[in-house]
Amino acid sequence: MKISDLFRFSVDNLRRRKGRTVLTVIGVVVGVCAIVVMMSLGIAVNLATDEMLQNWGDLTKITVQSYGAQQGTPDLDDDMVTKFKALDHVVAATPMYYPSFYGSVTAGNNNRYEASWANVIGMDADALEPMGYELVTGNWLDGQNLGKDKIQVMLGVQSIFNFTDSRLSWNNPNKQKYPEYDTEEAMYSGIPSNLPQYDENGTLLNPENFFFDPMTSKLTYRLEVGYDDEGNPKYKDYELVVTGLINSNNDWDIRYGVVMSMTDVKKIEADYKRLTGQSSGGGGGVMYSSSFGMDTGDTVNVGGYNNVYVKVDNVSNMPAVEKQIREIGYQLYSMSSEREQIQGQVAQTQMMMGALGLVSLLVAALNIANTMTMAIYERTKEIGVMKVLGCKLGNIREMFLIESGAIGLVGGLLGVVLSYLLSLLLNYLPQIMTFLGIEGNIDIAGMFGLSYMSQMMPDMQLSIIPIWLVVVALVFATVVGLLSGIAPANRAVKISSLEAIRHE
Amino acid sequence: MPVMIRTEQLRKVYRVGKEKVVALANIDLEIEQGEICCIVGQSGSGKSTLLNMLAGLEKPTRGLVAINGKKVSAMDENQLAVFRQENLGFIFQSYNLLAQLTAAENVALPLMFTGMSRRKRMKRAVYELKQMGLGKRAGHKPTEMSGGQQQRVGIARAFVGKPQVIFADEPTGNLDTHTTRQVLRTMLERAESHNITFVMVTHERELSSCGDRIITLQDGHVISNEKLDEATKKANRDALFADLDEKTLMAEEAEQAEHAEQAQQARFAEKVMHNVIQADLPDTQNPGGNTTGEAGTGQNP
Ligand SMILES: Nc1ncnc2c1ncn2[C@@H]1O[C@H](COP(=O)(O)OP(=O)(O)OP(=O)(O)O)[C@@H](O)[C@H]1O
Ligand SMILES: [Mg+2]
């Protein structure tokens, strides 16, 4: 028997019993709709979670911490950073080193502009780009040693607002140029709207917002090295060569920082120690924080850097890398483990809701089986005649499976369409409710135990139906149809042709 | 003539509760190729049981059935399905047409199971229907046809696959005497012209006389198995079909169609006449009336 004939036969039979077919299909539609809409809520919440976490921090970054490590864990030092770099899937690893010396940055004639609080950060020059920071203009640090008293730096794009005009008094409103948060986005993200902007030639496009262009001005770092006999601070000056401006949407420290290579930080640190007369153990090494504080129970605070960043190539590899670092003994922190936790919570709720949908689909499946069984009872004679006329058993089985599969598929298709409509309705619910003048809102995220989310992301979509969900729903509905058809189809195959054609 | 159907020690015992009903007791038969074989006997004598077993619809308790040298009694369901597609045709007492299909689709059904394309099988089905004098009914559903017409569709369905053997259990059981004769004669003509072995169960002695062989059953035993010679058969048939004229069903349909057309033309002519007369009526002072009449005449084919 030809496939086209099988299909024609089955579809004709479905059409013949329109009323019953429609009712059975409706059952499937409801089941599919329940599952798809439930899933779409979870997907939307997950997507919103990701977006939210992305604003909070980089999903592929691990912060390894020196505190809370297990007993016997080695120090978080340069050797360990090298070890991290060698791990599979690790793109870069760098300490995030905040040196203990203090200094300011000055600019302009006679050091007219001064940022008295300069947040020096030591990092691996090679790690900056892979870490995912944004290069506003200029170039990344190349790690070159420029010689004595000359240092390559990248300025955090927002650090420009730290400068004050030393010629004006503190009550003069022009003493400082301030960041502006006048747009909704700026207010929401905490990133000012008037940051320096450059064209591709490196020309500052909005110079009116700042005292000077940090890319072209001469900048100096004034390291404080103790006090003279009269109690005035002594300085050592370094010329800063600004290679570029750096930005990060989620790292406040970088945005406000003066980023140097670890080599240069170590150089300044050595000068500082020499000039302040501190003995430096091995000489030239960083002033690691020594193990301090009370060790509570099993954990210790190891020596070395406070924090080391490890950048991983892909979110999916995060668990593997995190596991390896944890096995060394360190405590770590990452957005992705945070995310896992939230997703776990969402998945749980989604499962519960999905189970409800599944129950309704199960009912639909029973419905299909029932419809098919009834159809087979009604068509006993017909089936018998077909067998006598030479229809193979396989063809009879296929006829009924196609019928039940078609019920599933059509139910799935209509279910998906209905789900899209419901999804649309959900997503426009706030507008619809305002239009109808109804107060209040629907907190879908709250249903998933994430009630803070709807405040953080006021315009998140409540329901998202991706293509894969459509495909999965259609396949699933068809499979359910086919499965519920198996028993009735087997019954049809077993019908005795003799019994069926017996004249009554 | 070679043997087409052969049974050896064919036995069928039904178990009803603790009782055993011997429907067929050790039957040995040979039916030759191209034979018209009629099985007669009283109600309950085992005619249907025998036919079903010959056709492989039922498994014997013991013994063997072979058609064209193939052991039907040993085939499984799928082998039987293929064997039926290729070799057997069936005609049922209660027609057993599929209600949702048209006459042509019903006739084409056995060909559909063999995987023949729709165009090809529909062509053959329509041809077969024409032979049965139902060319005009190809698109009709069974419910739109009389019993006799339905059975003719059933016969067309049995012949469409060009089978070796056709089995018919009381094919005329539901038809009136005239239709019975008509249908019977058509079946015989079609079977004989295609050299098809035709096995028919009937409880009417009179009908069975048209065959080459008459097998009489009683309580599961063959009590007579007579082969008629050509002369006797011819005499029997002449007597049986005396009331029928010579025309085949196809010729009859063509004739009827002609009658119908003539009748329609006659009605049309009458209508035109009527129009013309109306136009000529003096009280219809409308000159357009004549035009209408002319237009009507113009439509006359
Ligand atoms: N499925 C069955 N179960 C039990 N007994 C059966 C079955 N089929 C037939 N019989 C018995 O077998 C015998 C023969 O039945 P069968 O139907 O062959 O008779 P028949 O000659 O065709 O009669 P009729 O002319 O009334 O159709 C009967 O006694 C009947 O009761
Ligand atoms: Mg019978």
Chain A positions touching B85 (Cβ under 8 A) are: 390
Is there a contact between B81 and A1 if contact means CB atoms under 8 Å apart? no
Pick from A80, A2, A67: nearest CA to A302: A67
CATH number belonging to domain B3-103+158-242: 3.40.50.300
For residue B218, report the distance from its CA to the centre of ligand 2, in Å: 13
CA of B46 to the centre of ligand 1 (A): 6
**What is the rounded end-to-end Cα distance, in angstroms, of chain A?**
30
The mean per-residue pLDDT over the stretch B176-181 comes to: 90
Does ligand 1 come within 6 angstroms of the Cβ of B216?
A: no
Q: How far is CA B91 from CA A29, A54, B215, in A?
A: 44, 76, 19
Residue pair A498/A430 in contact by the 8 Å Cβ criterion: no
Q: Is B22 within 8 Å of chain A by CB?
A: no
Across the interface, whether the CB atoms of A503 and B81 are under 8 A apart is answered no
Residue A54: φ, ψ to 5°:
-60, -35
Q: For residue B42, which ligand has an atom nearest its CA?
A: 1
Chain B residues in contact with A5 (beta carbon < 8 A): 112, 118
Yes or no, beta carbons of A388 and B57 under 8 Å apart:
yes
| Length in residues, chain A | 504
Chain B partners within 8 Å of A1 (Cβ): 112-115
Residue A90: DSSP 8-state: E
Nearest CA among B211, B209, B150, B144 for reference residue B179: B150
Do A392 and B110 count as a contact with CB atoms less than 8 A apart?
A: no
Q: What does the alpha-carbon distance between residue A334 and residue A338 come to, in Å, rounded to a whole number?
A: 6
Is the minimum distance from the CB of B44 to ligand 1 under 6 angstroms? yes
Least confident range from A111-115, A329-333, A499-503, B116-120: namely A499-503
Closest partner CB to B57 (pick from A13, A393, A497): A497
Between the CA of B23 and the centroid of ligand 1 the distance, in Å, is: 6
Q: How far is the CA of B208 from the centre of ligand 1 (A)?
A: 20
Bridge partners of residue B70, in order along the sequence: B67
Whether residue B43 has its Cβ less than 6 Å from ligand 1: yes
- Are B157 and A389 within 8 A, CB to CB? yes
Structure letter (DSSP) for residue B57: S
From chain B, pick out residues whose CB is under 8 angstroms from the CB of A398. Answer: none
Mean pLDDT for A48-57 is 75
Cross-strand partners of A114: A106, A164
Average predicted confidence (pLDDT) for chain A: 86
Straight-line distance from the first to the last Cα atom of chain B, in angstroms, rounded to the nearest whole number: 56
Q: What percent of chain B has pLDDT over 90?
A: 69
Q: What is the mean pLDDT of residues A49-71?
A: 81
Is the pLDDT higher at A68 or at A36?
A: A36
Q: A229-281, pLDDT tens digit by residue?
A: 888 888 899 999 999 999 988 788 899 999 999 989 989 988 988 888 775 44
Taking the Cβ of residue A6 and every Cβ of chain B, the question of whether any pair is shorter than 8 Å is answered with: no
Decide: B221 in ligand 1 pocket, CB within 6 A.
no
Q: Does B173 touch chain A (CB under 8 A)?
A: yes
Which chain A residues are closer than 8 Å to B203 by Cβ? Answer: none
**E strand segments, A7-52:** none
Distances (CA, A) of B264 to B60, B140, B272, B292: 58, 22, 12, 20
pLDDT value of position B24: 94
What one-letter code names the amino acid at B50?
A: L
Question: What is the predicted pLDDT for the residue at A429?
Answer: 79
Task: For A372-420, write each residue's pLDDT tens digit.
Answer: 999 899 889 999 999 999 999 999 999 999 999 999 999 999 999 999 9
Which long-range contacts link A8-16 to residues 24+ away (Cβ below 8 Å)? A9/A399, A10/A399, A10/A400, A10/A402, A10/A403, A10/A406, A11/A406, A12/B100, A13/A375, A13/A379, A13/A399, A13/A403, A13/B100, A14/A403, A14/A406, A14/A407, A16/B100
Query: In whole angstroms, what is the distance from residue B35 CA to residue A196 CA?
Result: 106
Best substitution site from B14, B39, B172, B221 to test ligand 1's pocket, by max atoms within 8 Å of Cβ? B14
User: How many whole angstroms from B105 Cα to the centroid of ligand 2?
Assistant: 28
The per-residue pLDDT for B293 is 43
pLDDT for the residue numbered B301: 43
- Does residue B220 line the site of ligand 1, with CB under 6 A? no
How would you write B72-103 as a 3-class SS string? HHHCCHHHHHHHHHHHEEEECCCCCCCCCCCH
Of residues A16, A381, A391, nearest to B81 (C-beta) = A391
B16 lines ligand 1 (CB under 6 A): yes
Look at residue A186 and tell me whether its pLDDT is greater than 60. yes
SS3 B202: coil
Q: C-alpha B117: how far from its chain's center?
A: 24
Interval between CA A377 and ligand 2 midpoint (Å) = 24
Q: Is the CB of B237 under 6 A from ligand 1?
A: no
Chain A partners within 8 Å of B93 (Cβ): 503
> What is the per-residue pLDDT for A279?
57
Q: Which of A12, A389, A496 to mutate to test the interface with B (most CBs of B within 10 A)?
A: A389
B169 CA from centroid of ligand 2 (Å)? 7
- Which residues have C-beta within 8 Å of that of residue B174, sequence separation ≥ 6? B93, B94, B95, B147, B151
pTM of structure: 0.69
- Average pLDDT of the segment spanning B92-103: 92
Ligand 1 neighbour B14 (Cβ under 6 A): yes
Single-letter amino acid, residue A105 = V
Nearest atom within ligand 1 for CA of residue A498:
1
Answer whether B102 touches A (CB < 8 Å): no
Distances (CA, A) of A113 to A116, A119, A137, B200: 9, 16, 22, 118
Residue B143 touches partner A, C-beta closer than 8 Å: no
d(CA A109, CA A114): 11
- Tens digits of residue pLDDT in B183-198: 999 899 999 999 999 9
Residue A288 is predicted with a pLDDT of 55
